[in-house]
Structure 1
Amino acid sequence: MTAALSSVSSVSFGDVVHVPVHFDDLDAMGMLHNSRYAVLVERAISLWWAERGVSFAGGRPTTPDAFNVVREYGITFNRPVLGTGNVTVHFWLEKLGTSSATYRFRVTSTDGETVYAEGRRVNVRLDPATMRPSPWTDHARTLATTILQPS
């Protein structure tokens, strides 16, 4: 589990990160706005990689693998998040391709009992010079195997 924001609940694969829901994340009805779920997932996954040295510093990627983009994003909303406070993002890799990574995720209550939303996200590593897909490094592959869903 991520050191800075670990969850009390344990997961058998992937990792969990607690992410705060702020007042400005809410819609007029006091619910987490649908567009903010993607932000929470982004923050959780980005934090996980940053704690392992894959991030941006001074506007530049710290490793070639930090230069990646979201290609696909799909989500199913099950129950609304009401108000502010922490939620938990449980995420894992379903598949690691040559230049792509398919994540699955669940946004849950901090005790893991309520699943607010679940979905899928595909990232693609790009070569910054050509902006074309580029293979993940061996370093990223080693890190990624720690959150890869067992077959």
Structure 2
Amino acid sequence: MNDRPGFHLAVPVDDLARARDFYGGVLGLREGRSTGTWVDWDLAGHQLVTHAVPGPPRGPAGYGSVGDHRVPVPHFGLLLPVAEFHAFADRLRAAGTEFVIEPVLRFAGEPAEQWTMFFLDPAGNALEFKAFSDPAQVFAR
């Protein structure tokens, strides 16, 4: 067993070349192992695998309500420090990313105060990146 906790997530993509452009180019993730049907990505030390699955982009299965927003479900992403969140949002804007939910501060003044943004990869997989104003409050109740 590995001493470092982490996760492995596999997502379907309809085109590996577009996945490489997006995950490697736009998001700036380091590419790991690959074959003609899948590519491993380093998502902050976690293994994200894009698997080629023929067919049209799928998109979210639905939307859930969180505060004043309807968020795409399922989704995945990372918790970032606030400064990294804003730098990443700037990088996405510069790349012409279309946001499902533009970078926004949610729950202002509450323990769960956080910056969040949602967008889709080219295959329609929803991603959320967020930053808590106080990282100690991530799991606060």
TM-score, normalised relative to structure 1: 0.24
Higher relative contact order (CA 8 A, sep 6+): 1
TM (normalized to structure 2)? 0.25
If each structure's strand is expressed as a fraction of its own residues, which one has the higher value?
Answer: 2
